[in-house]
Structure 1
Amino acid sequence: MIHSRGSVDVKRKRDNVKKYGAVNLKKKGQEGDKRKRDVDRRKQDVDKRKKDVDRRKQDVDRRKQDVDKRKKDVDKKRKSAGGKRKKGVDRKRKSAGGKRKRDAKSKSAWNVKERNKKPKDSRPLRGAGERERNERPGRDERWKKFGAGKSKNVRLKPTGLEVKRVIPGFDLCTITIKELPTDATRVEITNIFREQGMDDTMFQLVSCRAEGNSQVAKFLLRAEEARVMAIGLEDLEFRDNLIKFEVGDNASWGSMTASSQSTDQSKTLTAIWSIPSAAMVATYSTVNEAKLKAKALSGRIIDGRKISATMNTRPNGPAARYWVEASIKLTNLDPATEPYEISAIAGTHLVRAIKSNTYDLEWFLSWLKQTLEREGCIRGSYQTTEIGGNRMKAVAKFNAHDALQRAAAILERGAHIGLTRQGPTPQVIVPTEHNYTISIPKLQYQAQKAQWDAMTEGRRGKKAFVRISEKKNGQVVIFVQGSDQQEIGPLKVRVEGLVAGERLDAEHWHNSFSQSERALRQKVSAGSNEVFLSVDRRLHALRVFGGSNDVAAAKLRIREEVQRLALMEYEIPIARQSVRFFVATGLQILKDALGEDNVTLDVASRACTLKLKGGDDAIQHARKLVEEAIAAASDGILPSAEDNEDGAVCPICYDTASHPELLSCGHSYCEPCLRHYLTSAATSNKFPLVCMGDEASCNKPISIPIIQRYLTKQRFNHLIDVVFSSYIQSNPQKFKYCTTPDCTQIYQCDTGNQFHKCPSCFSEICSSCNEEAHEGMTCEERRIQSNPAEQERLTEEWAQSNNIKRCPSCNVLTEKTEGCNHMACRCGAHFCWICRGVFAQGTIYEHMNTAHGGFYGAAVANQNPVPPVQHQQERIRIWQDHLNAEREIEAARRRAEALRQGEVERAAAEAARRRRIAEQEEEYRRIAAQRERQNRHWEEYAREQQRRREREAQLAAEVARREAEKKNEGSFCAIM
């Protein structure tokens, strides 16, 4: 009996098709029904939302109707609302206090518990008034002193960003305290000034750093107070240690420091000269022999001196006839050495003496000392030393740099007795009178190399110049040196401005830049040295260095990077006990502020996280809410999103405050309205920031901690700068900026001092006319001196009043004392004194006789005009008009050239931007194509693996089928 396996398999497959096909059809039908139900449900949701929209419109209409009613009885409602707010605040405080005292037996026990709590957790959730009262003691003291800007000490009141006092950089200086113990705290150090009767507003601790086995503290205070303090604190002991005080100039970020050459070394003269010595020439038979002898004798010690032996070079002039090529020159010999002594050493009898540096050393040293002391050398500072056995050096210090220069001029002429030179001419080293230095990274120098080269080119040897020195440690030292402080000042300000670079605003900042400076620098510079980027972590800002075009391109790349980071999703972990707060109110607050799709709360993960999209403002807002959630969880308070039981009205939007923020004055704000009010304050000049409640009549200042909670650190620092600038602009009669271009220093006009000296550019300014100092002249005389037009007007007025006229040809002032009206000028012109007409020498008398009735007198007999051919003034006027026209044409050409250059630069920048965008798009396409190729590769690989598995399955099935057939096959038998 033979069984057919194939028919069984076919039947089984048909059954499976019928069975599973029916099942699949059934599933598809169920899915279709489910989709229909979903569609119906979504339609219902849409209808519901439409109803909600209609209801909200009705609410808006009703609120609009209520606005008119509220305006009519605003006074009455204000009083009732104020009473309700107060009652509501008291009720919340009592309920919160009741919850806190749930397990306490008395009020004293609750106070002990509160004192043991962390300050951060002792704040209630929403009320800013109670939050301020629960802050740590002395937090507002940190805001009494706040440094803003360059070399300015700004003191702010702890509320409202109101400027309390400004100490300009002109009036500031530093006191440096040295030899302090390493374990001395800042409080102990500042107590040194408090014990002298100084208030905290009179000084500020700038820095405190370790230096060896001690500490060095630097304070900032007024110059006159610093000098008095330095005298009063002299020989003061601190923990049995004698501390030292130094009064210096004002210091600020990015400013150059005066090196040691600006103090002692700038007044130290150095003179170097050769000691008396003899020189001889030894001649040999061959050049090779001379070379061998020179090598053997060079460096040999003879009579205590190390001689020098070199091949004798051919001299110029008549001495060339005695020159022999096979000869050597021996120098630094003792002046008493004879030629026969050298013959035995040199191995030749052809030795002769030549002109040498011989003089009386003792007489020269005596003359040098007397000369320096006569020119003002400080007694006891003159010293001489020997250098290398063949030279000497003398140093001397002077009280004034002018005396040093006079002494140097005498030394450069050499020592003389009458007209005879009696000694050498020393090399005189005159240090620069002023020397300022600053160090920058080498990458920054490379990015600004073109600007540094332009600044140093052609200035060396002038009264003020820039010198640059590259060090091996990756730093570049910039020197500003010179002898004229008035020229050094503006140059120093330019160098400081170039070193400081361009500080970018808040639109070019993201918090991640503080940790990824190197990666950001590589991304912005794109592998080139044309731009350098630095992160200022103190101000949370970026500084860019380089050419104008490179900086503009770098700012564009930074802005794109900030936008890219703002679109990324950030995760902020939150504690489990804070989830309830975010579910109840916090999540909705963030959605209202950042957008519905930009905030999600993940509670399904093991660690609860808050996911949000946005920049630093969004992160700042979320972190503030996280802190509030921790405070709410610890205090057992859970406010609702609509926690506004008394119906308080926001002073900004005049609507019921949503997510209210209660200030210390009792007025409630919508949180978005308060945030917008604080962030937009930097664009106005109305300070201090006050409450807008009671129809903008509350005017209670908003505290600085509240402002800081709603602003990022960089925006807060920018707001401080705006407050300071607004304060200076609102007090133009009291504060003014330094007159030097690019100098940001300010000075106070009403100090009683006649002149002010800028600590940055060293320019002196008159406090009366606010112009350059004019010692020996009044302000009016200085104004006239600096105004050529006014000088010309006064000169013409004086000339008319004193019967003085100008020559019509050369315009020189001419005075007539006697004689006829025929005037002859030095320029060769002959003109009439009455009408100032120019004539030939032979015709001028005829003119005076016919036009004026004679050669003398001032009467005009005839009104006939002067012949235009003989009148030279018309020619001068025409020539001046021609010159003016040429100047206007040249100015127009330059303006057109500047416009064209600007268009070319803008076109180049636009082309570069488009090229960069095209390169980015090409890179994106390349990456997408590469990914697509990889995807196709992996898909083909997956299909190949699937086919391989199918083939293996088919082969295994075939093998199994054959084995089964073999088992089922019958055997034949024969029946006999």
Structure 2
Amino acid sequence: MTTVPRYRRASVEDPMFAKLLCAKIDVRRISETILSELQVTQIPAGFSSDSNLRRVECKKVKCSWYKPSRTTWLNFGNEEIAKRVFNKFNSNSYRILDQTAHCNQPTRSGGLRNPYAWTLMLTDLSIAVTENDIRSAIRAPHDSPRNIELGKPTYNVDGELASATVMSFLSRVGPIEWSQANTELEGKRAKAIARFYEEADAREAVASLHNVPLPFGKNMKLSAQLISTAKFKVATTIFSAVQTRIRTASQGWTRNHLSFKVYPCAFGFQYRVLKIEGPVAKDVAAAKETMDEILDGIIVMSHNEPCWSPSLSHNGIMLQKLKKIQRDYGVVIIRNRRKVELRLYGSPEKCVGVELAIADMVSIESSTDHIINLNPEDFQWVCNSGFPLRIVRKRELNSETETTTEKEDCVECWTQAENPNFTRCGHVYCIDCFEGLCTAAGSGEKDFSISCVGDKGQCQVVFSLEELQENVSSKAFEDILEASFASHVQRHPQTFRYCPKPGCDMIYRTSSTMKLNTCAKCFTMTCTSCHAGHEGKTCAEYKDEISGGYEALRKLKMELGIKDCPKCTTPLEKTEGCNHMMCRGCRAHLCWVCMEVFAESGPCYDHMTTKHGGIGLEHLNHI
């Protein structure tokens, strides 16, 4: 009978608590039978697909190692043929299995009677290469070698098992969201990529696994590299309008060893996903700033102010004229009624002409509407007053009309609701008015909430999270969650902090112990305990350094002749004897003159004699 595993999910607020809980359960599984089959994995809360706009992360680790290879020797009867074949391999005229083969200079390999007097050595060949493959690559009959000798493979583990070994190293560090390995790609190195749930685990994997010896190859080491990623989700129409600018910018990113890819969004053809990746976080951050600037578009300005007309708030003649300008110039114009602004997407040259055309259109537009813009305080005064209210709607003229109209009118703008939203408390909003009400909600000392303004501001029913999600777009819902969280952060400074870089609004969770956090927006690294940037140092070391203690200690060490072990940083002092020292901390053997590290004393003495002319006791020869 097969037992079907059962799963349960528990949510906690603090990720550090979740990690500690998982560690403790793993320890108890060994000693307690009742927990022996229990497996606990920490999985951070995921984001919906709509929340991946302009996402930046440092959770991906790229590993590589040499594929198994072999050396092959080609023997020729004379030097002329050997040199000719050598030149053809180096010029890529001869390729083995359609891949470049590295060929060493021809060498004389025997005496005058040796029929195979000259030898070429081909290195790093695939273990799949056979003698027939080599003879097929040397196409000219007069270049054919007299003898071919295939060397042994550097190791005999197949690619699948090697990849599994590397993946097991990575999985020991922390939970992995996804991974992939490929040993069949062209090149000398096999590659594997893993994306961790936590950035801290990705950094730990790189720190602990880079240059670690691999068990399946002699002197084989693993290369591990942290990859920074910036991801953008953009409307297909906007991408089409600015892709020329993006392609131009991407040429500079390629020179900085950054990769740039564009692919369709998995959740609809209306969007494209753009991804920038690279090993240097600062280069990715700089590329992201460039991309942000392109995707933000250009705000249409007139007389140093955003160009706007009240008529653009409605789907009338002005909107039709705006769409005609968009078609005539081949650009994209985005209308934001909440922010009362227009944004342009296209080449800078076209955008200049569009700005002038829109400014002319707005300046000559004569509207019969007379609109008074009110701030929230004035609006509430209007709602609760008699005379101003009669001017706005003149509802006192016909009580029957008032009853009928109020059921159809938006309680926010007091006009007939456009694409109406009906709330659970029985009021009606335009879809844009409702989103504007939600996203404009401020934060204060009390818990964040969004209340209905129906019944002339007297309703005050607080909308639930489910109702908000039902009645607003995904982007507006993100803005609401962000504003709610900002309110929570302001009221809980002991738990959350803002990134210390000026102008950056990203947030990180504080901790009682040292943990380095990389800002997802600007890549600034900050300690979550002391809130300073001190990569490679503990909090105490950093505080000591900025207070002057570190410099004073360094000067004192120089005066006393104290040096730190290069391997474990244990302070060492030489009082007498030769220049061979052994660290009492890590037991490494050291040359006191240049501080080079050795595993044994013998090589250290050889080094001192060869490099420094003695072991440091030469002055005793004159006694």
Whether the TM-score (by the shorter chain) exceeds 0.5 is no
Q: Report which of the two structures shows the higher radius of gyration computed on alpha carbons.
A: 1
TM-score by length of 1: 0.29
TM-score by length of 2: 0.41
Which structure has the higher relative contact order (CA within 8 Å, separation 6+)? 1
